[in-house]
Amino acid sequence: MVPFLRILGIETSCDETAAAVVERDAEGRSRILSDVVLSQLDEHSAYGGVVPEIAARAHVEALDELIEQALARANVSLDDVDAIAATSGPGLIGGLLVGLMTGKAIARAAGKPLYAVNHLEGHALTARLTDGLSFPYLMLLVSGGHTQLILVRGVGQYERWGTTIDDALGEAFDKTAKLLGLPYPGGPAVERMARDGNPDRFAFPRPLVGEARLDFSFSGLKTAVRQAAQEIAPLSDQDVADICASFQKAISRTLKDRIGRGLQRFKTEFPLTGEKPALVVAGGVAANLELRGTLQALCDKNGFRFIAPPLSLCTDNAVMIAWAGLERMATGAAPDTLDVQPRSRWPLDSKAETLIGFGKRGAKA
């Protein structure tokens, strides 16, 4: 038996305003009672990226109503929730302030505990909500701001095994799209073009392949794409398609090598876990079918389960924040005090060193 818990979650760390209600009953069955997300994509797309001031203002305008919607759809009132969980980092400071202050105000007014949640912890624990996964497992977070391979040992116990030393993977997609004249966000556009392209036309670099460390690097790839595009300009649609396909192939090969090594390390460190080990993927780039295929094949080959939560829970949402708050509360952890501050940088693994260029955008996760 576990305690029955129902949590209201709030997420405002980047360009999605979100609120959700999640519960877990005494038998350990979890349910998403509501999941409301308002994307600000249209407001930022003209600028080719997220504009922090626009994001913060949009959160202020939307959040109150989204929280009301989340409660109404869940058919509960504030009295019926056990705690409020709000993202307090990492991310854009303006947005974090809006969500955390709102969370504090509600917690104070309703007399409920507040959990200030690390956004990355939300991504890391989602697979326990969707798939009932037990610890330990590996998580690959591939989004616009992060590319990290994380060992999830338990609630609050994370070890970063690898991270990008320059651009995040989503950022590499976005920058490549931009220099090819494709729309923002770049990932879906590059994937679409790549379908009709020849992946063998350009031999793009596969940075860090073969190295024992588990880090990633994508800025050289972007530079190689720029050079190739300049050499054959003006670009036909076929040229763009071929570049996109070759770019994706280079990324697939890189991930195969990097993650393959991570799986081996996991098997060495946890040889005796009874269950089949698992790799979980999260973040917007997890939408990419070619990369999913690569990871699935890699997991099959290495005897791992490959777990990709539904896309709406891979990208930014408040369900994962509510869930992370619930997991923390269930461990008996003390709630945060109302003077907790938002943190634009907040590594999951506090012992991991900051790598050059890591989190340059410092915003998205």
Q: Where are the alpha helices (DSSP H) in the chain?
A: 41-45, 52-74, 93-110, 119-131, 169-179, 186-194, 219-232, 237-269, 289-302, 311-314, 319-330
Examine residue 320 and tell whether it contacts ligand KG4 (CB under 6 A): no
Q: Which residue, chain included where needed, has tokens 């409660």? A: 71
144 binds ligand KG4 (CB under 6 A): yes
**Which two tokens mark 184?**
């923002």
**Contact between 352 and 44 (Cβ < 8 Å):** no
CA 335 to chain centre: 24
Asked if 247 touches ligand KG4 (CB under 6 A), the answer is no
Does 246 interact with ligand KG4 (rule: CB under 6 A)? no
Q: In terms of C-beta density within 10 A (0-12 exposed, 13-18 middle, 19 or more buried), how is residue 42 classed? A: exposed
According to the binding rule CB under 5 A, does residue 19 interact with Zn ion? Answer: no
Q: Which does 294 bind (CB under 5 to 8 A by kind): ligand KG4, Zn ion, none?
A: none
Question: Using CB under 5 A, which of the segments 95-103, 137-145, 272-280, 339-347 binds Zn ion?
Answer: 137-145
Cβ at position 15, least distance to ligand KG4 in Å: 7
Count of beta carbons in the 10 Å neighbourhood of residue 213? 11
Question: Of these partners, ligand KG4, Zn ion, none, which one is at the site of residue 284 (CB under 5 to 8 Å by kind)?
Answer: ligand KG4
The least distance separating ligand KG4 from the CB of residue 265, rounded to whole angstroms, comes to 25
Q: How far is CA 285 from CA 58, 179, 311, 313, 316, in A?
A: 24, 19, 10, 13, 12
Contact between 315 and ligand KG4 per CB under 6 A: yes
Pattern of binders to Zn ion over 294-333, x per CB under 5 A? ----------------------x-----------------
- Of 284, 309, 347, 359, the one binding ligand KG4 (CB under 6 A) is 284
Closer CB to Zn ion, residue 52 or residue 220?
A: 52
- Buried (b) or exposed (e) across 99-109, using 16+ Cβ within 10 A? bbbbbbebbee
Under the binding rule (CB under 6 A), the answer on residue 317 touching ligand KG4 is no
List, in order, residues 6 or more apart from 189 with CB less than 8 Å away.
Answer: 177, 182, 183
Applying CB under 6 A, among 185, 262, 342, 347 the residue interacting with ligand KG4 is 185
Token readout for 327 is: 């997991």
Q: Are 146 and 283 in contact (CB under 8 A)?
A: yes
Q: Does residue number 95 form part of the binding site for ligand KG4 (CB under 6 A)?
A: no
Does residue 286 interact with Zn ion by CB under 5 A?
Answer: no
Can residue 365 be called a binding residue for ligand KG4 (CB under 6 A)?
yes
Kindly list the residues in this chain that would bind Zn ion in the complex (CB under 5 A): 143, 316, 365
